[in-house]
Amino acid sequence: MKTTLTHIGTATVLLEAGGLNLLTDPAFDPAPAEYPTGPVTLRSLTGPAVEPGDLPVLDAILLSHDEHPDNLDATGRALLEGRTVLTTVSGARRLGAGAVGLAPWESHELTGERGTLLVTATPGRHAGDVIGFLLRVPGEDEALYISGDTVYYDELDEIGRRYTVGAAVLHFGAAVVPYFGNDYITMDGEQGARLTRSLGARTVVPVHYDAWDHFTQGRDGITDAFARAGLDDRLHWVERGLATVIDTTPSS
């Protein structure tokens, strides 16, 4: 499956896959900005590379979780209205009409004028409910995996056992929010490399590694970790705002 991918910012990615236009984790507020929520204040440092008005017509939004502003902010939330939103079961209850809740391993078929995609939710572990997504064109074996905000843990190994993952969009950043303790709530480079090996993915596109002050590891740390694991050839860095073709089709 050939996918055209545009990294807009943080976890926000525009995908053209299987003839459909999809948007992940929409965050479009101007930056810098502060988001106080009870005892936690998150701070954004960099705004999006594409404005909402410049997006194409969207067939669906893939929302890994709805509770954190680095994955869904006020401007992004306005984009949900009137659109199909695939998200967690608890998130769908909070969002209401148009939201489809998926538990891990549940699938939903998306059909548009130009194609069809099968979207399967994958497990995740974060500060609250979260899912990732597997995208497949019906009849094709290769899948595109989007991790959502998660750390690496054993249950994610099941993805590679069940599916053939050609490419993966992984959420990094080694995010730390002291209110939740000192443990990472998203992957660092070492965890991402372990997951890459488990998936068998030939191509990894890193996202969610800068632009917020609770991220503790950026591009250099991810690159170093993949080099130590002997997987640096898998990394595919994309320029924000620039459409890039990712091909999950195995070479003959």
Closest of 104, 103, 66, 57 to residue 85, by C-alpha: 66
For 73-124, write each residue's pLDDT tens digit.
999 999 999 999 999 999 999 999 889 999 999 999 999 888 999 999 999 9
The residue ranges of every structural domain in the chain are: 2-238
Q: How confident is the model at residue 38 (pLDDT cuts 50, 70, 90)?
A: confident
Q: What are the CA-CA distances from residue 21 to residues 4, 128, 131, 178 (Å)?
A: 9, 27, 20, 36
What is the pLDDT at residue 250?
A: 61
pLDDT band at 232 (very low <50, low <70, confident <90, very high): very high
Q: Is 97 helix (H, G, I), strand (E, B) or coil?
A: coil
CA 2, 8, 9, 14 dihedral sign is negative
The radius of gyration computed from the CA coordinates of the chain, to the nearest angstrom, equals: 17
H or E element: which one contains 95?
A: helix 89-95
CATH of 2-238, one of 3.60.15.10, 3.90.226.10, 3.90.1300.10, 2.40.50.140: 3.60.15.10
3-state secondary structure of 132: strand
Structure tokens at 79: 């984009």
Residue 252 — pLDDT band, cuts 50, 70, 90? Answer: very low
| pLDDT one-digit tens code per residue, 173-187 | 999 999 888 999 999
E strands of 18-84, at which residues? 20-24, 33-37, 40-44, 60-62
Which pTM was predicted? 0.96
The pLDDT tens digits for 24-37 are: 999 999 999 999 98
